[in-house]
Every structure is written in structure tokens, then in C-alpha cells.
Structure 1
Amino acid sequence: MTTSAALSRPGPRGRLAAFLHRHARVRLSLLLSAPLAWLGLAYLGALAALFVTAFWSTDTFTGDLVRSFTWANFQDLVTGDVYRTIALRSLGVAVAVTLIDLIVAFPMAFAMAKLASPRAQRWLVILVLTPLWASYLVKAYAWRVMLSSDGVLGWGYGLTATIATLSYLWLPYMILPIYAGLERLPSSLLDAAGDLGARGWRTFRTVVWPLSFPAVVAGSIFTFSLSLGDYITVKIVGGKSQLIGNVVYDNIGAANNLPFAAAVATVPVVIMLVYLTAVRRTGALENL
């Protein structure tokens, strides 16, 4: 009896497995501990370091960091007209790119989800993903060639060229979330709307758009944030245009003013936090 009871008694691993089986929250916490730790160290830690550095300054003679608290960098941002203009220009570019991608992506995603056959859907998804396999620089310089005076478009460089290039670069990030959202939309709802006499625009306004809005929000988060912080495209096709990303890059490199660059870098972070708060209040994020 004693030997039999000892053999049937679970070992440490068995007791641990039974404990985790009974406590789902503990099991989930252990599974998420490693990625959350990495997120905290690599991402949130970097943001914390950025925020702290923004309150330092640089010695004008030696170029060394002065690790003493100061509001000077943020005062320069607020009081400087040029930085307010750059921030508003960057915000406008991000909004323009998001709207252009939405206008282009929505009919493409609808055709992929509701009009194409299952076989064609797979090929269309591959075609949408194909530009992402190419290098960012290759695509940006391809647009530089097309926009040059001797190029196919010949628009020249500037803000318009920047918006066009960014819209092309981030278009797949808008198409795929909308496609995924529209694919989950039951076709029976569209048929029911047609049976009740609703025409195309009314069906879109009352059925398609409300149900696909969370997917649109998801896509806009990608295009808006990526455009807001981009600086390479502006360097390649932007001409003399200046955006937030360029100010950060120039202060890290040529100006060697890391604290001011950190202060400028907080601007897109704050804008994105405001944007995420705004879309969260619409309930779109909860329905993704």
C-alpha cells in the first residue's frame, strides 16, 4: 500500500502542471512574462531614457552632455515658430498620407474580400505583400528617379513628392487590415440591405463603413505613425522640406545636440498617444 501510494503521488513537475492547469491566470502570466519583460526593457525603457535625456542640455563649448534638469529644450520647441511650423507640417503630411491610402486601399480591399474568388484572393494578398519584400531605400530611390525632372512623372522634389512616396510605401499597411475586416463582414448583410431597397451608397454608409471602421482605424495607426516619424523619404525626395524626423536626425548628427533631439522626438510620441486615446474613445480598438 505504501509503495503503491508513493508511485501514484505526483512529483514536483506534476504538481506544478496541476497547479498551472487550475490557475489559468498564473499560466497566462508566465507565458507573457518574457515578451512583456522584453517590451519593458527594449521599448518602454528606451522611451524612458529618451524622456529623461530631453531634460538635459549640451555644453556649447565642449559639446558634452550636461546631466542637470532644465526646461530649455521644451521652451525652445514651444517658443520657436519654426519648430511649430515643422510639427504642423509633419502632422499634415501624416494626415494626408493616411487619407490618400484610405481612399486607394478601401476599394482595393473590398474587391479582394467580396468580389474576388478565394483563389484570386490569395494571389491578390501576395501581390499586396510583394512591395514589402523590397528594400525601403530601393523603393524610395525609385520614386526619386520617377519624380526627377527627367523622370516619368517629373514633379520635382518637395512636400508633394514626400506625400506621394510615403503613400506608396505605407499603402499595404492600410490594405491588409481593411481586407481582414471586410473579409469578416457577412455577405448576407449586403444581400439583406439590397433586398430592403438600399442602394450602393446607402449600403456602404449604413452597413459596410460602420462594421469596417475598426479595421480602418487599425490601418490608420500604421500609416499615420510611420509617416509622422519618417525622415529618410524626406531626405531622398523632400528637397528642402523639413519634418520632425529630419530635425531629430540633424540634431543627433551634425548639431550633436542629443537632448534637443530627444525633446523633439517626444512630439510624435505625444501626438500618437493623443491619437490612440481619441480612437479608443470611439470603441474601434475594442472591436479589432
Structure 2
Amino acid sequence: MKAYAWRAVLAPNGVLDSTFGGTPGFGLVAVVLTLTYLWLPYMVLPVYAGLERLPDSHLQASADLGAGNGTTFRRIVLPALLPSVAAGTVFTFSLSLGDYIAVQIVGGKVQVLGTAVLQNISLDLPFAATLGTASVVIMVVYLLAVRRAGALDNL
């Protein structure tokens, strides 16, 4: 339903066109906007949980030692949020990697890995299986990289 709403917003003579006089149309920009809208909560929730776990004493100590807002964010908040950001990227990356329905609705002729699997399932089953396996391998490599970086240790 949300993808169809974005289709109505981005369509020629749609909401965006009648309000601002132009629209990016259906294509890569529409796919990025739609997938961002669909999967953004899966990124926001882990980051919010990470901010909730951040002790106020760390922020107060940083202010007492004379650090400004930018320095406090860069040296205190950002390192503390890295596990949460890593968890959020795992969620959003895995969900958007397999999302082919929203891409078909707003993407026009844009093809991502999920749509390539769907289009080849009846034409060339071994190729579709290879593409499906490639998406699993990409996700496993991404999870291993995040784990190796130590971002998931303190979740």
C-alpha cells in the first residue's frame, strides 16, 4: 500500500508534480525514496535504543571537560552508537535486498537483484537460483564483516 502511495506521489500529474511543478518520475530516484520510506523505521529503532542506553554521565563528563557539541558527538555518541547503527544497517540492507515488489511498482525499468530473480524464475531457473544464492552470499559476507568489525559485540 505504501509503495502504491509513493507511485501516486511520484506519477506525472501526481501530488509532487501538481505541488512543486515537477517529479523525478519512475526510476532509480523513486526506488531509493520508496525503499528509504519503507525501511527507515528498521534503522531508526535500533539507533533510538542505542541513544536510550547512552549514559547521561558520559555527556556530562564531556561537557565538564570542555568538549563542544560536535566533539561530544564525534568522540562519545558516535562510537557508542556504532553497534546500533550496524544492527540497523543489517536490518535495512537485508530487507531492501529482497524487496522486489516496491521496485516493480515505482521502479519503471530499474532492476535490482530481487527483480532479476523474479523475472528469471520461469525463464532460466538455474540462473534465478544462482542470483538467489548470490543475495544470500552477499548478506552472509555483510554479516561477517559487521561481526568482524566488532559492531555486534555489545548489542
TM-score normalised over the length of structure 2 = 0.92
Please report how far the alpha carbon of residue 185 of structure 1 lies from its aligned counterpart in structure 2 after TM superposition. 0.5
User: Which residue of structure 2 aligns with residue 171 of structure 1?
Assistant: 40
One-letter amino acid of the counterpart of residue 151, structure 1: G
Distance in 1 of aligned mates of 2:152 and 2:125: 35
Please report how far the alpha carbon of residue 259 of structure 1 lies from its aligned counterpart in structure 2 after TM superposition. 2.0
One-letter amino acid of the counterpart of residue 270, structure 1: V
Tell whether 2:93 aligns with 1:224.
yes
Distance in 1 of aligned mates of 2:6 and 2:53: 35
User: Which residue of structure 2 aligns with residue 287 of structure 1?
Assistant: 154
- RMSD of aligned Cα (Å): 1.0
Q: What are the equivalent positions in structure 2 for 1:202-281 lying under 5 Å apart?
A: 202-253=71-122, 255=123, 257-281=124-148
One-letter amino acid of the counterpart of residue 137, structure 2: V
Task: Give 3-state SS (helix, strand or coil) of 2:153's partner.
Answer: helix
Extract unaligned runs of 5+ from structure 1: 1-137
Extract unaligned runs of 5+ from structure 2: 17-22
User: Which residue of structure 2 aligns with residue 141 of structure 1?
Assistant: 4
Q: What are the equivalent positions in structure 2 for 1:75-114 lying under 5 Å apart?
A: none
Identity %: 62
- The correspondence for 1:184, drawn from 40, 44, 53, is 53
Distance in 1 of aligned mates of 2:62 and 2:56: 10
CA deviations over 1:200-223 (Å, ceiling 9, x no partner): 110011100111110000000011
One-letter amino acid of the counterpart of residue 139, structure 1: K
CA deviations over 1:106-146 (Å, ceiling 9, x no partner): xxxxxxxxxxxxxxxxxxxxxxxxxxxxxxxx100000000
One-letter amino acid of the counterpart of residue 65, structure 2: L
Please report how far the alpha carbon of residue 267 of structure 1 lies from its aligned counterpart in structure 2 after TM superposition. 1.2
One-letter amino acid of the counterpart of residue 275, structure 1: Y
Q: What are the equivalent positions in structure 2 for 1:17-32 lying under 5 Å apart?
A: none
Please report how far the alpha carbon of residue 152 of structure 1 lies from its aligned counterpart in structure 2 after TM superposition. 2.2
User: Which residue of structure 1 aligns with residue 20 of structure 2?
Assistant: none
Greater C-alpha Rg: 1
TM-score normalised over the length of structure 1 = 0.51
